[in-house]
């Protein structure tokens, strides 16, 4: 019952405390609303830490505070931070190219003509760059035999774990 409902229906969930409620909200967003909109009703003046925590934890582009989600997400009516729109981008989380309310600027094709302009004065590369699987021992041997004092290794977790 967590998916978007375009009707006057409200789903209610119980939680023992605020942290559990946020945890449930995270799961609900992950099931059917990632990138879209989340909403929190709280005393924003006396409990700003709740607003900050909720904002940090939700993977949604619109995080509404004390605002009806169905109307507040479209902007302008209950807040002025969101551009008025009935088309809401969900960003890369939701498989969209933008994470804001879609407006006229998103519907206009804009061209950019970019001319070559060289700004770099120099660029020095090492004499050898090793990039194949298993090349690390050979590269380190060259560092030692050539008398170098430093080496830069660029990798990521997948490459590191796979040798």
Q: Are 92 and 99 in contact (CB under 8 A)?
A: yes
> Which residues, including other chains, have CB under 8 Å from residue 44's CB and lie 6 or more apart?
50, 51, 65, 66
Place of tokens 């950019």: 112
Same domain, 27 and 95: yes
Range of the domain at 142: 122-163
pLDDT tier at 133, thresholds 50, 70, 90: confident
pTM: 0.64
Same domain, 62 and 30: yes
Same domain, 132 and 97: no
pLDDT tier at 127, thresholds 50, 70, 90: confident
Same domain, 92 and 129: no
Greatest mean pLDDT range, 91-95, 115-119, 131-135, 148-152:
91-95
Q: Are 61 and 75 in contact (CB under 8 A)?
A: no
Greatest mean pLDDT range, 4-8, 57-61, 96-100, 145-149:
57-61
Total number of domains constituting the chain: 2
Q: What is the 3-state composition of the chain as percent helix, strand, coil, each rounded to the nearest 5?
A: 30, 10, 60
Instruction: Identify the pLDDT of residue 2.
Output: 64
Computed over every residue of the chain, the mean pLDDT equals 88
pLDDT tier at 94, thresholds 50, 70, 90: very high
pLDDT tier at 45, thresholds 50, 70, 90: very high
Same domain, 98 and 133: no
Last residue of a domain, one of 73, 103, 133: 103
Classify residue 15 by its DSSP letter. Answer: -
Chain centre distance of CA 44: 24
Same domain, 93 and 146: no
């Amino acid at each position: 019952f967590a998916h978007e409902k375009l009707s006057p229906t409200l789903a209610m969930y119980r939680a023992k405390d605020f942290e559990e409620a946020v945890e449930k909200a995270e799961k609900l967003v992950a099931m059917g609303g990632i990138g879209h909109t989340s909403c929190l009703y709280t005393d924003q003046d006396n409990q700003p830490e709740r607003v900050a925590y909720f904002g940090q934890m939700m993977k949604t582009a619109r995080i509404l505070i004390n605002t009806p989600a169905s109307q507040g997400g479209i902007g302008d009516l209950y807040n002025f931070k969101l551009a008025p729109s009935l088309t809401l981008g969900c960003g890369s989380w939701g498989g969209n190219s933008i994470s804001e309310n879609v407006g006229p600027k998103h519907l206009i094709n804009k061209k950019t003509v970019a001319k070559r302009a060289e700004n770099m004065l120099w660029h020095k590369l090492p004499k050898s760059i090793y990039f194949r699987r298993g090349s690390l021992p050979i590269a380190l041997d060259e560092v030692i035999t050539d008398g170098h004092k430093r080496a830069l290794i660029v990798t990521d977790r997948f490459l590191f774990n796979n040798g």
